[in-house]
Amino acid sequence: MSDRTGIFAGDDPFAITRAWLAEAEVSEPNDPNAIALSTVDADGMPNVRMVLLKDIEAEAFVFYTNYGSVKAQEIEQAGRAAFVLHWKTLRRQVRVRGTATRADGPEADAYYDSRSLKSRLGAWASHQSQPLDSRTSLMAEVAKVTATHGTHPKRPPFWGGFRIVPTEMEFWADGAFRLHDRFRWTRESAQTSWKIQRLQP
Ligand SMILES: Cc1cc2nc3c(=O)[nH]c(=O)nc-3n(C[C@H](O)[C@H](O)[C@H](O)COP(=O)(O)O)c2cc1C
């Protein structure tokens, strides 16, 4: 019989992530949806940076970025990514590894349209991850795109989401004397069912 109870109960790892995130939204001082997103370059050199997790779908996680950025190039080259959610207030982490593809359909338009006008224009102005001469040049670019796109900018073709479909997820919660609880969900692909294992701390 499984001894997976309490905060680990249930077989749907997306439901558990949603429940833990809802708790973190109450306890974290800011950005409870911040994830450390890991990619790998063409030489196998790992890379990591924070982004905001914007949607938890039935079978995938979605974040938004610039498609010309380093992270986007690395994801498109490898077709895969990993991330971790960590909440200091809850002393818990969720680890995710999987395949990653563009989410640039109507959901990306809807999310872009929900952002403030300044953020929408900022997405047009920034060639993310490229060198920049000065802050002044960036503000000049913001003025230029404001003149071009006005108050109803469309989502830039170079900006949108990525959807990570996990083949592995792990839920970790702090335990007394470093005897933490860990449960790992693994599956061959999104079409196959999950296998769940308790792991040594
Ligand atoms: C808390 C936090 C949230 C962030 N959220 C995003 C985000 O949602 N999308 C994004 O493109 N960059 C985000 N950033 C900036 C990235 O960490 C990073 O600087 C940028 O995306 C360029 O990364 P790259 O050169 O590896 O592509 C965030 C940074 C922090 C600290």
Predicted confidence (pLDDT) per residue in 43-102, tens digit: 999 999 999 999 999 999 999 999 999 999 999 999 999 999 999 999 999 999 999 999
Q: Ligand 1 centroid to 5 CA: how many Å?
A: 35
Q: Across the strands, what pairs with 201?
A: none
> What pLDDT does residue 20 have?
98
Contact 188, 162 (CB under 8 A): no
Report, as residue numbers or ranges, the catalytic residues.
Answer: 178
**To which residue do tokens 């792990």 refer?**
170
Contact 13, 21 (CB under 8 A): no
Report whether pLDDT(1) > 60: no
> What pLDDT does residue 120 have?
98
Q: How far apart are CA 136 and CA 131, in angstroms?
A: 13
Has 191 been labeled as part of a binding site? no
Any idea of the CA torsion for 164, 51, 78, 58, to the nearest 10 degrees? 0
Report whether pLDDT(104) > 70: yes
DSSP 8-state class, residue 85 = E
Any idea of the CA torsion for 80, 86, 92, 94, to the nearest 10 degrees? -10
- The CATH code of the domain at 6-105+158-199 is 2.30.110.10
Contact 53, 63 (CB under 8 A): yes
**pLDDT band, residue 3 (cuts 50/70/90):** confident
Q: Ligand 1 centroid to 81 CA: how many Å?
A: 15
Strands 46-56 and 92-103: unpaired
To test ligand 1's pocket by mutation, which of 35, 51, 64, 127 has the most ligand atoms within 8 angstroms of CB? 51
Q: Is the CB of 132 under 6 A from ligand 1?
A: no
Please tell me whether residue 163 adopts helix, strand or coil conformation: strand
Q: Is the CB of 33 under 6 A from ligand 1?
A: no
Report whether pLDDT(2) > 90: no
Strands 61-66 and 159-173: antiparallel
> What pLDDT does residue 70 have?
98
Please tell me whether residue 37 adopts helix, strand or coil conformation: strand
Q: Which atom of ligand 1 is nearest to the CA of 71?
A: 27
Q: Ligand 1 centroid to 51 CA: how many Å?
A: 5
Contact 96, 61 (CB under 8 A): yes
pTM over 0.95: yes
Q: Where are the domains of the chain?
A: 6-105+158-199
Give me 173's structure tokens: 């919660």
> What pLDDT does residue 99 have?
98
Give me 121's structure tokens: 């224009």
Has 179 been labeled as part of a binding site? yes
Average pLDDT of the chain, as a whole number: 97
Return the residue whose CA atom lies nearest to atom 10 of ligand 1. Answer: 65
Short-list 84, 91, 93, 83, CA closest to 27: 91
